[in-house]
Structure 1
Amino acid sequence: MFFIILGLLVITVSFFVAHGDSQAARFSGAIRIIGIVLALLGASLSMFKVVDAGHVGVKTLYGRVDDDVLYSGLNFINPLVEVTMFDVKTQNYTMSGNHDEGNKSGDDAIRILTSDGLEVTIDLSVLFSVRPNDAPNILKEIGDDYVDKIVRPVARTAIRDNAVSYEAVALYSTKRQEFQDKIFNAINKSFATRGLKLEQLLIRNVTLPESVRKTIESKINAEQDAQKMQFVLQKERQEAERKRVEAQGIADYQRILSTGLSDKQLEYQSILAQKEIALSPNTKVIIMGNGKNPVILGGN
């Protein structure tokens, strides 16, 4: 487009120069040729448009937006057409209280009021993309600054509208996933009517008021102490049960020894022991006395 405008200017200048003498006329002819070459060069260059990967181009001619988009690659277009590029890859818009994490500098976290009247601070990341075929409508109805006009305000409003149904502690713990799902549905519905696609929503941090946070921490510590005491008591009960079973076994064994062995059983056990000694390779001396049990003297 630059060369076309420059060529037209050069051609216009050549007409003013042509009103002089013959030498000036010849000079104006040369200028006119240069202008024509520049215009033709600009037209030829403007007829080809390269669209990068992950982008689409939206054509505009004298303020009128064309509904057909240009896809990635080399495209042949009207040289008078202006092309606005739209990024159709996944984009991440983060609102965070940390100064170096969000899309805007400084503290950009979302502050909300819960159903119990407490102020909770939330860090949020919105992953979205532009639907390629809807890029012309976005340019016509919103413009190319759709992030500031749609993504940011819709996300912040959805969080605030849904937070009023939850207590602060519930958002921090048991209802966090449910809250995130509701926000996702609200934002996704709004994005869909504006040519955007919500891919994922991440509640990154939920910061409670200091007083509530300390109360929760005290409760968690108390529950942990109670669980630890239950474990100790359970272990002591198991140890007491083990000692009781052991004592009962010893008592049963002593009772069997005192009441359950007869003379015949003792004599049989003695015979077995004598047989084992007799079969031993060591030398031994057996003294048979008048008693029932012999005296055995062994040696190497």
Structure 2
Amino acid sequence: MFAKKSLPIGTIFSFVAVIVFSIFGLGSCSNPSTPAGFEGYVYEKPRIFGSGGYQGTLQGPSNFGMSLLRNEVINIDMRPNTYTENFKILANDDLNIIFDFHAVVSIRAGTVKAVVENYGGEHWYARFVRETFRTYVRNAVQKFDSGELKARRDDIAKEVTVKLQTYLNATPFEVKNIVVGNINYPDIVAKAVEKKLAAQQLLSEKETQKQIAKKDAEIRIEEAKGIAEAQKIINSTLTENYLQHEAINAQLKMAESPNHTTVYIPVGTNGMPLVKGLK
């Protein structure tokens, strides 16, 4: 029989500590990852040991790798995204105009560290861009009367684009495009526009009618001129001799008719019918 030899108490505690530490260490391992189109800001969030802070950058899609440190990642979308702002602005003629502005902004590659540490990370647009963008829009719109806005929307967008690009020039952010969205006028303006359009349509119709009446009058004038000219020609050819000649021919035709019962009494010179002069 061999006597059982017990382990020293210190060794047992050390063994248990190693097991617990191993389990704890494996459980605290991390492997941060970043999807395509994003850049990842990897940082340490220490539990027991480690200094914490920035650990590196990921270009998606990729993984940082397994680590005993408690590494985490902040993923920032670097692709161009559209940011829409809704406005109700008092125009130069004191009318409130409701419309949208759309800004397409992206983040320059390789700048995720600056975005996270200096510009608010995932909230960079709200913290650094939004209010400045809205200020530029208000300043540009308030220069014009409400009726000009639709016609000047490209000029307004261009002005805001130049100012925002200048503001963001030394930052990780880049303006791709700015577009003025739908412009909605107050009801009073919409009704006034409808009345104006209706009046213009009526005026156009009246102008058309005027042109038609003018043409009709010109036609009547030309017709009257034609009639007067015809009468003038006829009057100049209806002499007394011509009319007497026509009267004799008419009498001859009637005399030759079997049903003729009219009796003509010749009067005048040489028994010729008398014809009263036309002059």
Q: Distance in 1 between the 2:53 and 2:137 partners?
A: 37
Q: Distance in 1 between the 2:216 and 2:170 partners?
A: 67
**Number of matched residues?**
211
User: 90, 103, 114: which is aligned to 2:80?
Assistant: 90
Alignment of 1:175 with 2:161, yes or no, is no
| Corresponding residue for residue 37 of structure 2 | 54
User: 178, 185, 188: which is aligned to 1:211?
Assistant: 188
Distance 1:77 1:128, change over 3 A: same
| Corresponding residue for residue 128 of structure 1 | 105
Alignment of 1:33 with 2:19, yes or no, is yes
Alignment of 1:143 with 2:155, yes or no, is no
Distance 1:189 1:69, change over 3 A: farther
Distance 1:200 1:217, change over 3 A: same
- Superposed displacement of residue 65, structure 1: 4.3
Q: Distance in 2 between the 1:203 and 1:50 partners?
A: 37
| Corresponding residue for residue 130 of structure 2 | 152
Q: Distance in 2 between the 1:54 and 1:214 partners?
A: 48
- Using the size of structure 2 for normalisation, the TM-score is 0.61
Q: Distance in 1 between the 2:26 and 2:179 partners?
A: 52
Per-residue CA deviation, residues 129-174 of structure 1 (Å, 9 max, x unaligned), is 2222222112111212112112321221111121222111111x32
In the alignment, is the contact (CA less than 8 A) between 2:90 and 2:142 conserved in 1?
yes
Distance 1:167 1:26, change over 3 A: same
Gaps of 5+ in 1: 1-20, 96-108, 252-300
In the alignment, is the contact (CA less than 8 A) between 1:65 and 1:140 conserved in 2?
no
Q: Distance in 2 between the 1:238 and 1:69 partners?
A: 82
Q: Distance in 1 between the 2:211 and 2:76 partners?
A: 65
In the alignment, is the contact (CA less than 8 A) between 2:115 and 2:172 conserved in 1?
yes
Q: Distance in 2 between the 1:60 and 1:156 partners?
A: 33
Q: Distance in 2 between the 1:117 and 1:133 partners?
A: 46
Specify the code of the residue in structure 2 equivalent to 1:156.
Answer: R
Q: Distance in 2 between the 1:213 and 1:169 partners?
A: 10
Distance 1:224 1:195, change over 3 A: farther
Q: Secondary structure at the match of 2:76?
A: strand
Per-residue CA deviation, residues 214-259 of structure 1 (Å, 9 max, x unaligned), is 2222212212222344455556777899x89xx9xxx9xxxxxxxx
Specify the code of the residue in structure 1 equivalent to 2:41.
Answer: V
Distance 1:70 1:25, change over 3 A: same
Highest Rg: 1 or 2? 2
Specify the code of the residue in structure 2 equivalent to 1:59.
Answer: V
RMSD over equivalenced CA pairs, Å: 3.6
Q: Distance in 2 between the 1:65 and 1:221 partners?
A: 67
Distance 1:65 1:230, change over 3 A: farther
- Superposed displacement of residue 87, structure 1: 0.9
- Superposed displacement of residue 50, structure 1: 2.5
Q: Distance in 2 between the 1:207 and 1:215 partners?
A: 14
Distance 1:51 1:22, change over 3 A: same
Distance 1:185 1:110, change over 3 A: same
- Using the size of structure 1 for normalisation, the TM-score is 0.57
| Corresponding residue for residue 227 of structure 1 | 204
- Superposed displacement of residue 85, structure 1: 0.7
Q: Secondary structure at the match of 2:62?
A: strand
Per-residue CA deviation, residues 76-95 of structure 1 (Å, 9 max, x unaligned), is 45834442110112322223
Q: Distance in 2 between the 1:197 and 1:236 partners?
A: 63
| Corresponding residue for residue 173 of structure 2 | 196
- Superposed displacement of residue 72, structure 1: 1.2
| Corresponding residue for residue 162 of structure 2 | 185
| Corresponding residue for residue 74 of structure 1 | 62
Gaps of 5+ in 2: 1-6, 45-50, 228-279
- Superposed displacement of residue 41, structure 1: 6.5
Q: Distance in 1 between the 2:163 and 2:213 partners?
A: 54
- Superposed displacement of residue 190, structure 1: 2.3
